[in-house]
Amino acid sequence: MRSLRLLAAALFILSAVTSFAACTMPLTVTTLPGSAGYRLSWQRVPGATGFQVQVSSDSFLHGTTLLDLPDDATGVTVNVFTSSARTVYTYRVIALNGDTPCVGTFSASYGATAFGLTRRINRIVIPVVGSTRGLNNASFKTSLRLGPPDATSAGKIIFHPAGRAGSDDDPSIPYRVERGQTLQFDDVVATIGQSGIGSLDILQTVPVLSEGTTVLPVEARLFNEAAEGTYGAFERPVLPPDAFQPIDWNIFVPSSRFRLNIGIRTLTAAHVTFSLIAADGAVTQKIVDYAPDYVFLDAADHFFGKPVNPGDSIVINVTGDNVIAIPFHTLTDNSTNDPAVFNPQSPAHATFPVIEVPIAIP
């Protein structure tokens, strides 16, 4: 999962930190090109039995051991893949040599720019929406409710049409919800002036999203509009940090009463393997590379080019460098055109979460 360099525009600031140990081990710090991090080097330490590399974002009130190195080590490369707008990470390299280990420390501050990871993930995503005619005379629409927020929330709602790479310049409308109020769209895709299938991003700019911002309540419903009323289901919004390096998405094909669509919404580039596992154990695979902000949705039998039968299963495996993607599927009742959307359960947070992945390489 290492295909996209999301921190290429990050600003790195380096500062020395006083050692916490009686024996100080001087470190030579080299800033590596691009977003590759830092190379920490040191002289051989007589009597050292090994080295330990640690990191902390709170001055070692809490810390994490990243790597254990042998006694002849003289360097390590460190980095942090993070969506935090500005967090200072303190590193320790400890030479283990009995009761008085030697310690070298330094701090790195990562200030993400508008083109970094922070901007890409700090949004709320509705993986699949539509305003379109479907099979069996279905008429699918998507309603959307925003709020009530605990403070004024403003930004824009972006529609990414399916079948092509998207961007923040895709069709959108502004929104503003005052504290304690709600904003309702009965057919949000049509309100944006669009039709068809796609995905929605709620991109909040007031207040600017950060790890301390309260998550805006969002409720989406995909439904079929019929003469006697509507048939549909609520769809869970997803926070991109919850879709970071997603686990395999497993789908069991139910009875022929339902038609099955499979899909994925990417936020970064993603390498996706779709595996159709027949009830008799036969496996059919298709592998696709998707661009960032791509929306894919297709009938399972059409996508695989063969019947998908009850009792079969489908696995969607997503790989890539620090990939963020949302696999999902839909089931639609053939008699009522009642749709149901299944996607990773999110959000489960009071405030916006942070991606934080410390890295240490010998």
For 122-356, CATH number out of 3.40.50.300, 1.10.10.10, 2.60.290.11, 3.30.70.330 equals 2.60.290.11
Q: Which candidate, 121, 172, 120, 138, places its Cα nearest to that of 261?
A: 138
Alpha-carbon dihedral angle through residues 357, 288, 242, 109, given to the nearest 10 degrees: 30
Q: How many CB atoms lie within 10 A of CB 107?
A: 15
11-116: in CATH 2.60.40.10: yes
CB 13 within 8 A of CB 108: yes
CA 116 from centre of chain: 14
The label of the residue with tokens 């149901």 reads 340
Q: Give 108-165 pLDDT, tens digit per residue.
A: 876 554 346 777 888 999 999 999 877 767 789 999 999 999 999 999 999 999 999 9
**What does the DSSP assignment read for 93-157?**
EEEE-SSS-EEEEEEEEEE--TTSHHHHHSSEEEEEEEEEE-GGG-EEEEEEEE---SS-EEEEE
Q: How many CB atoms lie within 10 A of CB 207?
A: 15
Domain spans, the chain: 11-116, 122-356
Domains 11-116 and 122-356 share a fold: no
pTM of the model: 0.86
One pLDDT digit (tens) per residue for the chain, 362 residues? 333 223 332 333 344 443 344 588 999 999 998 778 899 999 988 889 999 999 998 889 999 999 999 999 999 999 888 887 667 899 999 999 877 789 999 998 765 543 467 778 889 999 999 998 777 677 899 999 999 999 999 999 999 999 999 999 999 999 999 999 999 999 999 999 999 999 999 999 999 877 788 999 999 999 988 778 888 999 999 999 999 999 999 999 999 999 999 999 999 999 999 999 999 999 999 999 999 999 999 999 999 999 999 999 999 999 987 899 999 999 999 988 899 999 999 999 999 898 888 899 99
Cis previous bond, 240, omega within 30: no
